[in-house]
Each structure stands twice: as C-alpha cells, then as structure tokens.
Amino acid sequence: MFVDEVQVIFHAGRGGDGKASFYPGFKSGPDGGNGGDGGNIYLETSSDLSLLNRFQGKKLWKAQDGQTGGKYNKTGKKGDDLTIVLPLGSILIDQDTGETIELNDIGQKILIAKGGRGGKGTNALASPSNTTPKFAQPGKPGQEKRIKIVLKLIADLGLIGLPNAGKSSLLNELTNSNVKVADYPFTTLEPNLGVMGSIILADIPGLIEGASSGRGLGIKFLKHIEKVKLLLHCISAESDNPDKDYRVVRKELTQFNPDMAKKEEIILLTKADTVSEKDLLKKQKILKKHGQVFSVSLLDDKYHPSHLPVFR
C-alpha cells in the first residue's frame, strides 16, 4: 500500500539530571557533574517513495535521553541523535504553529527537534556566595513536534488522463517499470514513478468526472502532479469523444487547483495502432485546438513514443 500522508510526533531526548555530590574525606567541595544533553532529531531525504509506510504502526519517534552526571565532576553522556529518512517531496506541517517545510533535494538534512540541555551538577552550581549547593539541576525536556507529513511526487513529466488511457503501459515501455496493466479501468491504484535517462515520469491513477470532489480514486493523487513540470495528457484513440475526455480531466485539475491550468501540457493520443489512419487524423484535428498533439503506440513503430522530442 502506498502511504502519502501521516501524522507523527517527534520527541527529542530529555537532558540528563545534574549530580548532587561532594568529594569524600578531607577534600571539601561539590564534585557533582552535569547531565548530558538529550539527543536531537534530524530529517533527511531519500528517493525511496515507500518510506512513509513505516509510520503507519508507529506514531511516536523519540531520540535518546542524556545520562545523569556523575561523581568527580563527570559529565553524563549525551543522548544519541535520531535521523529519520523521508521521501523526496515530503512537506512537513507543524500542527501547532502551522509552519511548513518542504524537502525537495536528495540528501537534504534538517534539525526538526532539539534535545534538552543537561542539568548542572553541584560542581557547576558552586559560587562564592554558595560554596556547597545542596541540590543539582534537573535536565530540560527535549522539543516535541507534532508533524503532518504530506508527500507530493517530484517528477519532470506527469501522465494524466481517464482510466484505461494507456498511461501505465506507456510508463512501462519508456522506463522498464513493471506497473500492472489490464484492459479495464482502475488498474493503477497508486502513483508510480519511472526513470528514463535523466527524466523522471509519474503515472497518476485515472481521473473521472467528479474526482476533484472525491469521486473515484483520483482525488487522493491529484496533489502528486502539483509539482510536475510538464503534463502528458493521455487520451485513447479508441474514444468515441476525445474532446469530452480532454475536457473532463482538465476540469477536474482546474477545480482541484487552478494553478494546474497554467502548467505546460502535451496531448498524447494513445493506442494509435487500434484505429484507422483516417480516424486517427480526425481525432488529432479535434484535439489540436487544445494544444500540441502527438499520436503514440506501443506496437506501431511509426508512432512509438520514443520518437517524440519530449522523450529524447
């Protein structure tokens, strides 16, 4: 199952308590050491899109506490830091402050929760006015952050269209992916990524009329094409009304986010080998009023998608 939205709690380590202690025997004075600082929590990015799955059964992620200070002015050990790896494209929303952080670069690393300071021991607390402090300081609690993580895929090209428009087959052909395909709607139940050279392609589950208001499977995945640089709008050459198919998908994109209407788009008339040349040219002409149109087929080399400039 593809998880693209979770709510978690990041709790940095608590600082260790200071030590209340005094030198034994004839040597007077306090010797209690300071507590160690609590561990920090860092977030780092990776290209692995499945990383949010592990948050499903674990909501609280905690760094190690600092250790208590020791006798003879020994400082307690600092708590181990915790580094959590998140998928590229993660958006972090602080549930208490509303602050938003985007992780858009591979290897990006940020501090999300700082560990608490260790408490001072009696040695550090001693002063001319209080040479024998009787109590040491407790450690400070680490920061706690309640974070909502939303994943939005970052790709160069986004394949969109109605169900069964040939998007997954196209992704498989171009990128050697192994996405499930079949001759019925809603074969794709989650977004898929593929890589062709330096180009990253995202295949989004088919959209139907009303997707932007919750119908079908598309609403959950519309957000994944908000960051895509170029839309590849797939329309089946077998369609009886390609113009309507185009308008349905465009309407849902615009209603979900008006900015999507401004994205650059290329129309791909897929399954070009399944209709006559005359019918194909007629449908190309119908769609040309909406923008650039190319016919593609996985069987007919004349219309193979690798011939298109966008895939070179």
Kindly report the CA angle at 276 between 272 and 281, in degrees rounded to 5?
Answer: 70
Calpha distance 203→218 (Å, rounded): 12
Q: Is 165 annotated as a binding residue?
A: yes
With a cut of 80, say whether residue 253 has pLDDT above it: yes
Q: Is 242 annotated as a binding residue?
A: no
Calpha distance 214→63 (Å, rounded): 39
pLDDT at 37: 98
Q: Is 48 annotated as a binding residue?
A: no
- Full-model pTM: 0.70
Q: What percent of the chain has pLDDT over 70?
A: 88
pLDDT at 56: 85
Say which range, 1-10, 142-151, 195-204, has the weakest mean pLDDT: 195-204
Q: Is 204 annotated as a binding residue?
A: yes
Q: Is 153 annotated as a binding residue?
A: no
Exposed/middle/buried for residue 263 (C-beta within 10 Å: 0-12, 13-18, 19+): middle
pLDDT digits (tens, 9 = 90+) for 1-45: 678 899 999 999 999 999 999 988 656 789 999 999 999 999 999
Q: Is 167 annotated as a binding residue?
A: yes
Q: Is 180 annotated as a binding residue?
A: no
| Choice between 175 and 110, residue whose per-residue pLDDT is larger | 110
* Domains of the chain in sequence order: 5-151 (2.70.210.12), 157-311 (3.40.50.300)
Calpha distance 23→264 (Å, rounded): 75
Q: Is 168 annotated as a binding residue?
A: yes
pLDDT at 210: 52
For all residues of the chain together, what is the average pLDDT?
Answer: 86
pLDDT digits (tens, 9 = 90+) for 67-81: 999 999 999 999 999
pLDDT at 179: 45
| Choice between 24 and 234, residue whose per-residue pLDDT is larger | 234
CB 102 within 8 A of CB 91: yes
Q: What percent of the chain has pLDDT over 90?
A: 54
pLDDT at 115: 98
Q: Is 203 annotated as a binding residue?
A: yes
pLDDT at 299: 86
